[in-house]
Amino acid sequence: MADDKDGREKQAADEDRRQRERDVEAELERGDEAEPPIDPDEVDEFEAALEPLTFPATGREIVAAVGERELESSTRVYAVADLLPDADMEAFDTPATVRERVRRPAVAAAMKRVVEAAATLENEEFGRSQHEAFERTFRALSDVDELDDEGGVRAIADWVADRIAERETVPGSRDVRRQAAKYCRKHGYEVRDDEWLGV
């Protein structure tokens, strides 16, 4: 590869993609989620159903292809269309990234709500780093044992969607973390400064 600007940018993009794939693999191996995850066998079958799609694929393309498919956790059955955004604003790099998203239904439903709300705005960007920070915030909320997983995640997703509607802009990731920390404290869970939510 040539040592020029284009070559360096391609190398950086390739490294970024490889890091995301490693992060997804690490998350797949984690088994300590508080939220009841989707049954791993069902997630495997779901990932196989994604094979005919060309990746990267948008949420809208995935929902169109397999949105009616159902996934079951120990407490509930979800349609894929309930977990992935029916929007072109978010693209998934590989079937594994889709698989990782649907494994935690409360987080997936929250991200769907946020992405679809952001997609209603004209000329609004919802960049990858901001997107990843939102998802990490929802995961951190879901992991707080003292809180109802879905209640906290849903409350912050509602707050984000309301802010988008009122101000016609996506709130900053720091604001979302701050709001999540307020929610935790209000419900009796103290957030430490060294935690993700400790802004």
Say if 172 falls within a structural domain.
yes
* Domain span holding position 49: 33-187
Say if 99 falls within a structural domain.
yes
Say if 48 falls within a structural domain.
yes
pTM, 2 dp: 0.78
Residue-wise pLDDT for 142-172, tens only, equals: 888 666 657 899 999 999 999 999 999 999 9
Phi, then psi, of 171 in degrees rounded to 5: -65, 155
- pLDDT band, very low/low/confident/very high, at 46 (cuts 50, 70, 90): confident
Say if 104 falls within a structural domain.
yes
- pLDDT band, very low/low/confident/very high, at 75 (cuts 50, 70, 90): confident
Taking residues 131-139, what's their average pLDDT?
93
Say if 60 falls within a structural domain.
yes
Say if 97 falls within a structural domain.
yes
Taking residues 161-185, what's their average pLDDT?
94
Say if 133 falls within a structural domain.
yes
15-18 long-range contacts, CB within 8 A, separation 24+? 17/93
Letter string b/e over residues 46-71, b meaning 16 or more CB atoms within 10 A of that residue's CB: bbeebeebebebbbbbbbeebbebeb
- Pick the closest to residue 147 from 188, 112, 113 (CA basis): 188
- pLDDT band, very low/low/confident/very high, at 30 (cuts 50, 70, 90): very low
Q: How many domains does the chain divide into?
A: 1
Say if 10 falls within a structural domain.
no
